[in-house]
Amino acid sequence: MAARPNFFLVGAPKCGTTALYEYLRPHPRVFMPELKEPHFFARDLGTYPRIKTTEAYTRLFAESTERHLALGEASVYYLRSSVAIPAIRDFNPEARIIAMFRNPVDMVYSLHSQLLHVSEETVEDFESAWRLQERRARGLDLPPKVRSPLLIQYAQVGQFGTQAQRVLSTFPAAQVKLLLFDDFAASPQRVYDEVIDFLGIPHDGRSEFPRINENKRSRVAWLRRFYRKPPPALRATIRSLKEKVGGEGIGALKKRIVALNTVRERRPPLSPALRAELVETFRDEVALLARLMNRDLSHWT
């Protein structure tokens, strides 16, 4: 019988999920595929899911063994998807669900930067992109190569209360772990220990937690768009080169270009007026999340 995952890190984006994935992967009793974010169950996200078939999905876990007590994957837009969480329940009703949240105001600002970096977004100024949401919901002013318009509906991506409620109405509370990025940033050790206990596996003694997935910006925007979303004619040329000289050399060259074109830096703060607007936008969602988690999140609003 094919191995199947028994835990899912379901999001949210820019909330520490990449770091937790990287911390869990080396654990000797954990198996997580090298491919992060297959998004197999998010079938309402257009062409964004990287894995499309059940056969390809189960192959991700083919190298797991009996010593792996926890088999998992991390796809940050499962929370954003309206179908992914119920689909995961249908796939494995006993699965454990881990969700990570942060102040949605900070998340959407950080997400905009990330989407720019991977060319899902093309409007450089965050406030301008925020103002475009209504038009984009009508199919207007979309980035030409965005794989799912739902990703750039920033207000909906930040509906953390609604998303947490969907998870808790789909899975028993005992199978759900809701985490805060604030806690993770303050003490990754404590949160990591909680996750290990939640997964029911022995501790591996990890005590070092290097910083992972800092904010990135491309030095040259047109070059970023060129290598992230090459035109069809160039894609055909690249495929031909891979067949002739092998994919390793082409992949190494692309990684080198990406590295040279990438700067890691903090973004400038939001203007007070825009931050106040976003706080009001997310106020009810934050209040709902606070009730569901039984946490005081008033400092977010």
Query: 120 or 235: whose pLDDT is higher?
Result: 120
Q: Tell me: pLDDT of 237 over 80.
A: no
The predicted-structure confidence for 182-202, as pLDDT tens digits, reads as follows 999 999 999 999 999 999 999
Q: What is the per-residue pLDDT for 2? A: 75
pLDDT in tens, 251-288: 666 556 644 555 557 789 999 999 999 999 999 999 99
Instruction: Count CA atoms within 13 Å of residue 286 on its CB side.
Output: 19
Mean pLDDT of all residues in 13-39: 97
How many angstroms separate the CA atoms of 79 and 262, rounded?
28
Residue 214 has pLDDT above 80, yes or no: no
Q: What was the pLDDT predicted at 3?
A: 87
Asked if the model's pLDDT at residue 157 lies above 90, the reply is yes
Q: What is the percent of the chain where pLDDT is above 70?
A: 82
Cβ neighbours for 30, distance < 8 A, ≥ 6 positions apart: 24, 68, 69, 70, 71, 72, 199, 201
Residue 174 has pLDDT above 90, yes or no: yes
pLDDT confidence of 135, banded at 50, 70, 90? very high
The residues, any chain, with a CB within 8 Å of residue 94's CB and separated by 6 or more, are 6, 175
Query: In DSSP terms, which residues pair with 197 in a beta bridge?
Result: none
Q: How far apart are the C-alpha atoms of 32 and 195, rounded to whole Å?
A: 15
pLDDT score of 234 more than 70: no
Mean pLDDT in residue range 159-165:
98
Whether the link from the prior residue into 12 is cis, omega within 30° of 0, is: yes
| Inter-CA distances, 137 with 42, 134, 186, Å | 19, 5, 37
Contacts of 290 (CB under 8 A, 6+ apart): 296, 297, 298
How confident is the model at residue 259, as a pLDDT?
47
Q: In a 3-state reduction of DSSP, which class is residue 8? A: strand
Q: What is the pLDDT of residues 239-253, one digit of tens each?
A: 666 666 666 666 666
Q: Rounded to an integer, what is the distance from CA 35 to the centroid of its chain?
A: 13
Half-sphere exposure of 133 (CA within 13 A, CB side): 14
Ordered structural domains, the chain, with CATH: 7-104+150-214+281-300 (3.40.50.300), 216-264 (no CATH)
Q: Say how far apart CA 60 and CA 75 lie, in whole Å.
A: 13
DSSP 83: S
Cα separation, 154 vs 301, in Å, equals 18
CB under 8 Å to 152, separation ≥6 — which residues? 115, 120, 121, 129, 132, 133, 136, 142, 143, 146
